[in-house]
Amino acid sequence: MFLSKSQRLARFFHQGVPEIWVRFLLAIAGLILAFAAAIFSSVARESGNLWAMLILASAALLLATIVGLTTVPYLARRIGAVRIREAFDYDVTRVGIIYVVTVLLIGIAALNTGNNLLYIVVAVMLAAIVVSGFASALVLRNLELDVRLPEHVFAGRSILARILLRNSRKWLPSFSVNVVSLEKAKSTRHWRWLPSTFTVPRGRPPEKQWIRLPDRQLRRLIDKAASPNIFNGSAYFPYLPARASLISELELKFERRGRYQQERFGLATRFPFAFLTKTRRVPLAREVIVYPSVEPTDEFFEVLPLITGEFASFMRGRGNDLYRIREYMPEDSARHVDWKASAKSGSLKVREFSREDERKLRIVFDNPQVEAISAEAYEGAVALAASLGWHFTGENTDISFVTQGYRGADIYQFLEYLAVVQSQSLPSVIDEIEVADDYNIILTARARGTIPTALWACSYFVFLGNRQ
């Protein structure tokens, strides 16, 4: 099958050569034509041909404009997209400032005196700056970063994060590399056109307005602040051999619950002369959910004995069938001592009922509505719910959790919900609770008079913002 010349040319451009090169070559051709038109317009002007000069100058300007609007943005997006993500940031150090000032002073002295030796010194010092920039960029190239965080993180507890840095180069090692955290952009205010409706007259209901036309209104908006960074410290690697990996452990501690995110990290170095700090931005997204603190608080110690006592009384009342008589244990209550069996055996014996091993507990966090309690009381309620759930999970208890956003028996899912929960206008979950074999610990901001009567016999209430 024979192809025509035009078909072969089209096949060459669309299949044999990538589109980026086609656009680049077309841009070069367009600029050459624009340059030729500009030269010929100058020749026409010298010869006095005004119309030829205007036509050629306009063609040169038009060709340059077309290239600038079509090819240059495309090439910038294709070439710069990857480089922008892993671009370098430069910060001049104090040593670098002193060094540059010294070079300028020596250069001025060389110009004033004409001393060849001073010119050589200035050239060597300027070459050192060029070598410093090249060496620092070479040190940061081909480095692979990985940040590993624990699966479960609690507020107020120290954890160890592992930072892994790998040098994938075959021969060249890296020196004096710091893994740093890059600051996030702060919330900014900007103007934006938003859809609206032009109405006449204003202030009346829509059905009573004479004119309603689509419109746009300029408003000033505030961008939502980004989530806080995972860490703001640094991990230092003095020497990283070629084809090697090193791990550095960094201690982290989060004071508050919530979601912490970081989309990129930085690899920084001052190698070799510390004239400037060069930082390579590494796109590496990491997220950690910090659970509320489960450390016992004063309120926890205040309500725990009352909850434990009522819970034990509730479960004992449910056990009617004698399961066995066994030896007395220190944690057993004296009311379960079987005195007849103890007298016969000469040692304390206790009665164990068949349903004492079915300790069913349900923790209900009734998320209060907005402004129902103060922010401080709300954080205390979240911490109390987390502490109670963590405490009874470690006991011999069949525990479950009920909230507006989670229902289940997984303690970590419950803590994850509490980590990011905020007060919101949602219906109370208390009315949905069914009276069953479970004993309920209910944290709520509802008034006492609105609690269903059936729940009082099988529940312990913690009224948020008040002392029980």
Indicate whether 210 pLDDT > 90. no
Q: pLDDT confidence of 366, banded at 50, 70, 90?
A: confident
Higher pLDDT, 201 or 402: 402
pLDDT of the residue at 263: 86
Write out the two tokens for 281: 């931005």
Grouping H, G, I as helix, E, B as strand and the rest as coil, residue 61 is helix
pLDDT of the residue at 86: 52
Judgement on whether residues 108 and 246 belong to the same structural domain of the protein: yes
> Into how many domains does the chain fold?
5
Tens of pLDDT, residue by residue over 36-82, are 877 887 777 778 787 877 788 778 777 777 776 666 666 655 554 44
- Report the pLDDT averaged over residues 162-171: 90
43-47, 59-63, 214-218, 336-340: segment of lowest average pLDDT: 214-218
Computed over every residue of the chain, the mean pLDDT equals: 78
Judgement on whether residues 339 and 287 belong to the same structural domain of the protein: no
Indicate whether 34 pLDDT > 60. yes
pLDDT of the residue at 322: 58
The enclosing H or E element of 265 equals strand 258-269
| Host domain of residue 196 | 189-222
Contact 189, 199 (CB under 8 A): no
8-12, 185-189, 336-340: segment of lowest average pLDDT: 8-12
Indicate whether 442 pLDDT > 70. yes
- Report the pLDDT averaged over residues 276-290: 89
pTM as predicted: 0.64
Judgement on whether residues 195 and 325 belong to the same structural domain of the protein: no
Judgement on whether residues 46 and 76 belong to the same structural domain of the protein: yes
Domain-located, residue 468: no
Domain-located, residue 163: yes
Judgement on whether residues 165 and 215 belong to the same structural domain of the protein: no
Kindly report the length of the chain. 468
Q: pLDDT confidence of 416, banded at 50, 70, 90?
A: very high
Say what angle helices 411-420 and 375-393 make with each other, to 10 degrees: 170
DSSP codes, 64-128: HHHHHHHHHHHHHHHHHHHHHHT-EEEEE-HHHHHHHHHHHHHHHHHHHH--HHHHHHHHHHHHH
Judgement on whether residues 234 and 281 belong to the same structural domain of the protein: yes
Judgement on whether residues 15 and 75 belong to the same structural domain of the protein: yes
- Report the pLDDT averaged over residues 390-411: 85
**Cα distance between residue 284 and residue 265, in whole Å:** 6
Higher pLDDT, 364 or 209: 364
Indicate whether 142 pLDDT > 60. yes
Judgement on whether residues 25 and 118 belong to the same structural domain of the protein: no
pLDDT of the residue at 220: 60
Q: pLDDT confidence of 399, banded at 50, 70, 90?
A: confident
249-253, 418-422, 441-445: segment of lowest average pLDDT: 441-445
- Report the pLDDT averaged over residues 322-349: 74
Judgement on whether residues 63 and 123 belong to the same structural domain of the protein: no
pLDDT of the residue at 289: 92
- Report the pLDDT averaged over residues 369-384: 84
Judgement on whether residues 346 and 216 belong to the same structural domain of the protein: no
Q: pLDDT confidence of 84, banded at 50, 70, 90?
A: very low
Judgement on whether residues 235 and 313 belong to the same structural domain of the protein: no
Is residue 69 exposed (0-12), middle (13-18) or buried (19+ Cβ within 10 Å)? exposed
Contact 88, 80 (CB under 8 A): no
Judgement on whether residues 42 and 95 belong to the same structural domain of the protein: no
Write out the two tokens for 7: 């078909």
Q: pLDDT confidence of 14, banded at 50, 70, 90?
A: very low
Higher pLDDT, 347 or 354: 347
pLDDT of the residue at 73: 64
pLDDT of the residue at 12: 47
- Report the pLDDT averaged over residues 417-431: 84
**Cα distance between residue 343 and residue 337, in whole Å:** 11
pLDDT of the residue at 291: 93
